[in-house]
Amino acid sequence: MPSRLLPVGATRIKVDRHGNSYRIIKVANPSKWEYEHRIVAKMKIGRKLYSDEVVHHWDEDTLNNDPDNLAVWTRSYHALFHWARGEGYYPYS
Ligand SMILES: [Zn+2]
């Protein structure tokens, strides 16, 4: 089924160019989708995310969007964290 025909609330898995999988949720018709981890993170901190903020998954499982598994960091801090662990630049998880 084309994604624009799916109901609001439907979920899909999106794989980025690094091979990481993310769950996305349809939030409005005809085709507005949002990352589940960003929705959960916004509820956790009680505000929108700024454009330079990303969500880190503590256990590295990008499909585990339990609020306790998520941290909201700036893009630069996130890159530094993963770089310091020898993982290179890793912008989205
Ligand atoms: Zn991360």
All structural domains of the chain with their residue ranges:
3-84
Q: How far is the CA of 30 from the centre of ligand 1 (A)?
A: 31
pLDDT class of 86 with cuts at 50, 70, 90: confident
Which pLDDT score, from 0 to 100, does residue 27 have? 97
Q: In this predicted model, what pLDDT tens digit does every residue of 9-44 receive, in sequence order?
A: 999 999 998 888 999 999 999 999 999 999 999 999
Q: Give me the mean pLDDT over the 77-81 stretch.
A: 92
Q: How far is the CA of 78 from the centre of ligand 1 (A)?
A: 6
Report d(CA 53, CA 39) in Å as an integer: 13
Task: Judge whether residue 75 has pLDDT over 80.
Answer: yes
Q: Average pLDDT of the chain? A: 92
Q: How far is the CA of 68 from the centre of ligand 1 (A)?
A: 14
Q: How far is the CA of 71 from the centre of ligand 1 (A)?
A: 8
Q: How far is the CA of 90 from the centre of ligand 1 (A)?
A: 7
Which contacts qualify for 32-37: CB closer than 8 Å, 24 or more apart?
33/3, 36/11, 36/65, 37/62, 37/65, 37/70, 37/93
Partnered with residue 59 across adjacent β-strands are none
Task: Report pTM.
Answer: 0.88
